[in-house]
Amino acid sequence: MKSKFIIKLFIFIFIPLSIKATERVRLKTQFLFPSKMMESIGILKVLNRINTFSGNKIKFRIYEPNSIVPNFELWEAVGREQLQAAITLPGILAMKIPANTFFADIPFGPNFIEFNVWMEYGGGRELKNKIYGKKGIVSIDCWGLPPETAGWYKKEFDTIEELKGMKIRFMGIGSKVYNKFGINTVSLSSKDLLPELKRGNIDAAEFIRPDADLNQRLFDAVKFNYFPGWHSQNNVGELIINQNIWQKLSPNHQMIIKHVCEANYLNSYVSMNFNQIKPMNELKRKGVKFRNLNNKVLKNLKKAWKEVIQEESKNDPLFAEVYSAYQKFRDQYAIWGEKGYLK
C-alpha cells in the first residue's frame, strides 16, 4: 500500500515536470540594440547556448529594435505578453522609473565588485525583483558591462558651463544632471545618432563604449571623446521574460536560463574590458582625440547629481526607498571597500 502511494506521488510530481521539460518553448524577443552590433553578437551567443543546453527546446525568436514596439515600451510589452521576452538595460527603464538607476547606470556609482555586492548581498536584487514583479516581469542579469565614455563632443571644453545651450543625446538619469547646467538632452535610437550629428541637429552624444562607438562611426562627425563615464561606471544587460510565461517554464528550463546567464555575466565583463583596447587604438588612428574630464567638471557634476537625488527622493517615494537602501549599504561597505583595495 505504501509503495503504491509512493509510485502515485512520483507520477503526480515528476511526470508533469518531465513532460513540461520536453515541450518546445518559443519566445518572441525584441532587442534594444541592432542584432549586428558588437554587444548583440555576444547576446546572440548566450541565447544560442541556452537553446543548446535545453536540447533545442528553448528558442528565442529575435526581432530588431522598434520592430514590434518602440524601445521605450519594451517593459510594458513584455508585461502584457505582447512580447514574451526582451534584451534590455535597466538604466533605460530609469527614464520611466528613476529608482531603477540603482540597478545599473548609477552616476558616480561603485566599482564592479561593490556594485555586485550591493545587488546580491546588500538588498539590491530584492528591490529590483519587487519593482519588476509589479510590472509582470522576471529579470535575469546576463551581461556584466564595463564603464561607458562621457560622450562625443565637437569641440574641447574645460568647464561644464561651456556646454550650456548645447543639445546632447544623453540617456538615463544622468540627463537630469546635465539639465541642471542648461544643457538640453534628447533621447535618440542608435540608428539616428550619426545622421543627427552630421546634420547638426545635436551637438554631442553619449553612446556606449569604444567598441560600439567605433561601429557607429561617430568619428565621422565628432572627434573629441571624453572620459570617464561618470554617469555609468557599471551597466548590466538583462534578459526580461513575462512573469506568467516564466512560471510556466519547467524548473529545468528556468535553471538552464539562470545558469547560462550567471556563467556569462562575469565572462562578458572581463572580455568586454579587454575588447576596448583594439577599438581605442583604431579610433586614435582615425584622428579621435581622447580627453579626460578635469576635476572641477567632475566635482560640479557630482554636486548636481546630489541635487537630483534630493529632488527625486522628495517627489518619488520608490526612488527614496531604493536610494536609502543603496546608500545605507555603501556606508556599511565603506569600512572594507575604502581599506581593502589600492586607490
Backbone angles phi, psi at 207, to 5 degrees: -125, -100
* Spacing of C-alpha 163 from chain mean position: 26
Same domain, 251 and 205: no
3-state helix, strand, coil in the chain (%, to 5): 55, 15, 30
In a domain, residue 286? The reply is no
Total count of domains within the chain: 2
d(CA 58, CA 82): 18
In a domain, residue 83? The reply is yes
d(CA 78, CA 60): 14
User: Residue 260 sits in a domain of what CATH number?
Assistant: 3.40.190.170
In a domain, residue 181? The reply is yes
Same domain, 201 and 218: yes
Domain with 42, as residue range(s), is 24-146+233-274
Same domain, 196 and 259: no
Q: Which of 245, 274, 303 is the last residue of a domain?
A: 274
Tens-binned pLDDT, residue by residue, of the chain (343 aa)? 433 333 333 333 433 443 355 678 999 999 988 877 767 778 899 999 999 999 999 999 999 999 999 988 999 999 999 999 999 999 888 889 999 999 998 999 999 999 999 999 999 999 999 999 999 999 999 999 999 999 999 999 999 999 999 999 998 899 999 999 999 999 888 889 999 999 999 999 999 999 999 989 999 999 999 999 999 998 999 999 999 999 999 999 999 999 999 999 999 999 999 999 999 999 999 999 999 999 999 999 999 999 999 999 999 999 999 999 999 999 999 999 999 988 7
In a domain, residue 176? The reply is yes
Strand partners of residue 34: none
Which cell numbers hold the place of 99?
Answer: 529608482
Same domain, 224 and 319: yes
Same domain, 181 and 241: no
- If phi over 0 gives left and psi between -120 and 50 gives alpha, with beta otherwise, what is residue 334? alpha
Same domain, 200 and 312: yes
In a domain, residue 258? The reply is yes
- CB crowding 89-117: b at 16 or more within 10 Å, else e: bbbbbbbebbbbbbbbbbbebbebebbbb
Which cell numbers hold the place of 92?
Answer: 533605460
In a domain, residue 11? The reply is no
Q: What is the pTM of this model?
A: 0.88
User: Residue 225 sits in a domain of what CATH number?
Assistant: 3.40.190.10
- CB crowding 159-179: b at 16 or more within 10 Å, else e: ebeebeebbbbbbbbbbbbbe
